[in-house]
Structure 1
Amino acid sequence: MVSVDYLIIGGGIAGTSAAEVLREKDAHVKIAILEAGPHVLYSRVLIPKYIKGQIQREALFLRKVSDYAEKNIDFYPSAKVSKINSEKREAILENGLIFSYKTLLIASGGKPRDVLPGVLRMHTLEDAEKIKKVVRDTKEKTALILGEGLIALEFLSIFILNGFKTHLATKDDAWGEARLGQAGAEMLEEVFKKHGVIIHNKIANGEKIKSALTAAGIGLSRNLEAFAGLEVGQGILTNEFLETSRPGIFAAGDIAEFFDVVAGRRRIVGNWTNSFLQGRAAALNMLAPPSAGLTPFRNVSAYNISCLDERLTFAGDTEDFDDTLEITKDGTLLRALFKTDKLKGAVLINRFNDKMETVRLIEQRAAKDEVAKIFS
């Protein structure tokens, strides 16, 4: 058995940032990271650039093995946790090794949802290597993309860059309409068609589309079975302090379904910056003495993606709303999302300069009239 003060399950950005904060604040505690994969921390955000040949493989890696040793953080690669025992404060690995802890952070993230064999995914470094190979070696340059999220857009850029005749499929009237609204979806579809993309709208179950390659960006699933005894939903449920339902156990990153104090509800925010900030916030709360009280995690998440020279920004909660305000002008879009007349989130197309103002208004829960006045 290995005994530590702070045990972190997951060596991604949430787990690594937490471990480094713990070490910054206390030079003497014993810290261990259990990483299910074989690698030290690398940037999943940069994977599309690597696939496109814009950066070298080495540029993906954000830490070296020596970095963990210098900070006296024990890093265990290929360490897959099969279950935890919250009563005994133990984590049991698939190989039988047991770690005991005083405080635990679960930052194990997720993995792509299961699809048919042979369908390309873009989540890990191994996925990236496979995509590079099949894109290079496939003679029939046709591809179908499933899903309507950010990974689907990354696949689209990669296939077009490599000369593929690319198909998109949706059950809606327009691709991406659920998140972008009708105006935003139509704006993007026009751009896609200029690049030769074939869009299949209102696709029916059983309809066939022929392609040499199929890629999917349909979201993540999470291994919750290993964490029996904790309250779970789509992820591990936490309060605003990133505490789970069991004492001494916190969660951060893609696996945490946390109470968002700005949005006023529990949700999962699966982007790099949010995971980094949650890892740091969780660590500070893990360190806090009982008499000090804990600090709520507060952040308006905002992230960007560029696809075919179009720049998309998503800010705040873009799923829970009952009213919208859409402003379109000269190839740009502001789609503001409201709940009971309070700004909850927004989608911007080619309005990157409005990102910070939008975040500020979401933080202030601005009314619809105020938002319209500022951006009209």
Structure 2
Amino acid sequence: MTRRYVILGNGIAGQTCAEDLRKADADASIVMVAAERHPLYNRVALPRYLRGQVRREKVFMRTAEQYAAQNLEIHFETWATDIDLREKVVQTNRGHELKYDAILIATGGRPKPPPWPGSTDVTACLGFQTLDDTDAIIEKADASQRVLVMGGSFIGYELAEGVSFRHKAGVTWIMRGPWFLRYVLDEEGGQLCRQMGEEQGVQFITSDEVQKFSRNNGRYLAETVNGEKVEFDLLTYGVGLDYYTEPVRTGVELKNGIVTDSKLRTSAPDAYAAGDIAVFYDLMVERHNQMGTWDNAEAHGKVAARNMAGADEDFFDVPTYTTTMFGSTLAVMGVTPDVQPGLESVRTFSLEEKFYRKLFFKDDRLVGAIMIGPPKGRKKLIEIMRSRQRIERPKQELLDPANLKDS
């Protein structure tokens, strides 16, 4: 009997799962449900596209013909409206009724709406999640004198860095915290980020937030709690995601996303979750965790595919995130205090030489790291994290790249 798989989402988690299932079973029915109108594209490349360093066509990773060649049935601009986990059937906005033997929910999320008073009156207001978002930001930013970026997260950073790199429009970056990534970096790390950003022309407003938006001579005016006033033409923001859990009304545990065990299984039979939406049991820190990185989602897709096909495999990997940092490099690996408070840490930095390294430990095991500057020794640090070995030597020694020769 032909086995039936339904994959909700065609990001890298869903795409990887579908293709690995096809490799394992040439005869299976595999149906993908994709909310966007595009085939798979590289979300990691969107900041480079925003900066003008990558052409739009280079962002795409699959074509419609490639889905057909693998006998993957895909429905674009389609999303689940109801998932009956007991009867194993999915209803979509386009009237499909999709029955399954196993399902992967990899629907990710959408940007939270701007929380600031009056922001709904700013018609030029854009989040940064999809290719269509990026197209719109490029079009409007290129016609703007000043772009206002709000939010002290990775998304806020990628917007500020990308727009300021792309063209000469002014960029003002407002964040409630005292510095970028306040739960991961300390004051000196935040100071280095600010120093490098200001050298690229970014204006920083920290420990503040907008209390009022208004129109002013055909432009917009933002007024902050601390009395700052910023005239701007485009508002972009990154304040987190709302995860697309609405179709799952009963049958699984929800906690910001969909809770799974270490095998990416939900509490419903034959139902798995992967990617940003999965609140998975992370064996590295022995607690539930939620990661929004590309490589984590891809690795989720591989493990989910094997388990949906009958395996019994735990997920264990070290998530990584690497991007440019105002002309340098920002690299994050493993688990950091924003998702696992109370980690022990050691650090080293130089504002003059523009480098910063901070390592995070739990129970004498290396579990995470953040670097600004050349990421020397990165591979060795990841190797140590994967080994889960206890660190017997002084932890400070791991900060020196000379002690971390990449194999």
1:196 to 174, 178, 201: 201
Matched, 1:18 2:17: yes
Matched, 1:235 2:262: no
Aligned-CA RMSD value:
1.9
| CA-CA distance at 1:82 after TM superposition | 0.4
| CA-CA distance at 1:4 after TM superposition | 6.5
Gaps of 5+ in 1: none
Structure 1 284/134 Cα, relative in aligned 2: closer, same or farther at 3 Å?
Answer: same
Corresponding residue SS for 2:345: strand
1:354 to 377, 380, 396: 377
* Aligned counterpart, 1:284: 306
For 1:149, give the aligned amino acid. S
Q: Output the CA distance in 1 between the equivalents of 2:254 and 2:303.
A: 21
* Aligned counterpart, 1:299: 317
Corresponding residue SS for 1:281: helix
| CA-CA distance at 1:368 after TM superposition | 8.1
| CA-CA distance at 1:119 after TM superposition | 1.9
* Aligned counterpart, 1:103: 102
* Aligned counterpart, 1:224: 245
The answer as to whether partners of 1:4 and 1:99 remain within 8 angstroms in 2 is no
The answer as to whether partners of 2:9 and 2:34 remain within 8 angstroms in 1 is yes
2:335 to 307, 317, 321: 317
* Aligned counterpart, 2:175: 170
Corresponding residue SS for 2:185: helix
| CA-CA distance at 1:205 after TM superposition | 6.1
Identity score, percent: 26
The answer as to whether partners of 1:174 and 1:182 remain within 8 angstroms in 2 is yes
Q: Output the CA distance in 1 between the equivalents of 2:154 and 2:389.
A: 26
The answer as to whether partners of 2:6 and 2:30 remain within 8 angstroms in 1 is yes
Corresponding residue SS for 2:255: coil
Q: Output the CA distance in 1 between the equivalents of 2:38 and 2:186.
A: 39
Q: Output the CA distance in 1 between the equivalents of 2:175 and 2:54.
A: 32
For 1:272, give the aligned amino acid. W
1:335 to 346, 352, 358: 358
* Aligned counterpart, 1:184: 189
* Superposition TM-score, scaled by structure 1 size: 0.92
| CA-CA distance at 1:369 after TM superposition | 4.9
Q: Output the CA distance in 2 between the equivalents of 1:143 and 1:373.
A: 42
The answer as to whether partners of 1:170 and 1:201 remain within 8 angstroms in 2 is yes
| CA-CA distance at 1:214 after TM superposition | 1.5
* Aligned counterpart, 1:152: 156
* Aligned counterpart, 1:125: 131
Structure 1 205/58 Cα, relative in aligned 2: closer, same or farther at 3 Å?
Answer: closer
The answer as to whether partners of 1:333 and 1:351 remain within 8 angstroms in 2 is no
Q: Output the CA distance in 1 between the equivalents of 2:23 and 2:68.
A: 14
Corresponding residue SS for 1:82: strand
Q: Output the CA distance in 1 between the equivalents of 2:209 and 2:275.
A: 35
The answer as to whether partners of 2:41 and 2:59 remain within 8 angstroms in 1 is yes
1:254 to 269, 276, 279: 276
Structure 1 175/46 Cα, relative in aligned 2: closer, same or farther at 3 Å?
Answer: closer
* Aligned counterpart, 1:273: 295
Matches within 5 A, 1:49-64: 49-64=48-63
Moved more, 21-30 or 164-173: 164-173
The answer as to whether partners of 2:111 and 2:242 remain within 8 angstroms in 1 is yes
Moved more, 175-184 or 231-240: 175-184
For 2:348, give the aligned amino acid. I
Q: Output the CA distance in 1 between the equivalents of 2:150 and 2:255.
A: 25
Q: Output the CA distance in 2 between the equivalents of 1:310 and 1:360.
A: 24
Gaps of 5+ in 2: 212-223, 401-407
Structure 1 75/142 Cα, relative in aligned 2: closer, same or farther at 3 Å?
Answer: same
* Superposition TM-score, scaled by structure 2 size: 0.86
Structure 1 60/268 Cα, relative in aligned 2: closer, same or farther at 3 Å?
Answer: same
Corresponding residue SS for 2:186: helix
The answer as to whether partners of 1:334 and 1:351 remain within 8 angstroms in 2 is no
The answer as to whether partners of 1:169 and 1:175 remain within 8 angstroms in 2 is no
For 2:170, give the aligned amino acid. K
Q: Output the CA distance in 1 between the equivalents of 2:129 and 2:171.
A: 21
| Deviation by residue 1:58-81 (Cα, 9 ceiling, x = unmatched) | 212111111111111111111111
For 2:181, give the aligned amino acid. G
For 1:281, give the aligned amino acid. V
| Deviation by residue 1:164-207 (Cα, 9 ceiling, x = unmatched) | 22212233333333221112111111112223322212215622
Q: Output the CA distance in 1 between the equivalents of 2:335 and 2:348.
A: 19
The answer as to whether partners of 1:119 and 1:213 remain within 8 angstroms in 2 is yes
The answer as to whether partners of 2:359 and 2:399 remain within 8 angstroms in 1 is no
* Aligned counterpart, 2:218: none
The answer as to whether partners of 2:109 and 2:242 remain within 8 angstroms in 1 is yes
| CA-CA distance at 1:57 after TM superposition | 2.0
| CA-CA distance at 1:93 after TM superposition | 0.7
Q: Output the CA distance in 1 between the equivalents of 2:51 and 2:85.
A: 44
